Amino acid sequence: MNTTNKLPIWFWIIGIIALIWNIMGVMAYLGQAYMTEEILNAMTEADQNFYNNQPAWVTAVFAIAVFSGLLGCVALLLKKKLAILLFAISFLAVIAQQVYNFVIQDFIELTGQRLYMPILVIVICAFLLWFSRFSKSKNWIS
């Protein structure tokens, strides 16, 4: 890293907020992956069908998205350009997951939070990919 190019405070703020966001994503994944029958049975029939019929590849891309996003945040905070690759992997995995949710699955209707949250996830993933590339262009990460 160029030692004359001091990092702005907002770099750290974005990095820490992104890390917290991605920790919440990992928690959401673990909550879904290890969902008990009791929790599943308390859901509506449509939600039960959604989770019971979700293909393994969707679960896999969910895991890839959240864990690569988390590692991307760690790399960003460590000022490593590996963050760019990790955020790109996360973004591609999120897109694959949302293609299933928006186009393929037909168990639940995507309205309200079920619509806004996936869009927010896509936007944040795209932002983190852009921000890591921007940080590289400013020689903040290397």
Tens digit of each residue's pLDDT (9 = 90 or more) over 23-66: 999 999 999 999 999 998 998 888 888 888 889 999 999 999 99
User: How far apart (Å, rounded) are the C-alpha atoms in residues 41 and 44?
Assistant: 8
pLDDT number for residue 83: 98
- Please give the pLDDT value at position 38: 93
CB 124 within 8 A of CB 94: no
Residue 102 has pLDDT above 50, yes or no: yes
Residue 101 confidence (pLDDT): 84
Burial classification of residue 5, based on how many CB atoms lie within 10 Å of its CB (0-12 exposed, 13-18 middle, 19 or more buried): exposed
pLDDT at res. 6: 85
- The structure tokens 């992956």 sit at 33
Specify the pLDDT at position 49.
83
Record the pTM.
0.89
* Domain range list for the chain: 9-137
pLDDT reported for residue 5 = 66
pLDDT category at 3 given cuts 50, 70, 90 is very low
Per residue in 60-94, pLDDT (tens digit) is 999 999 999 999 999 999 999 999 999 999 999 99
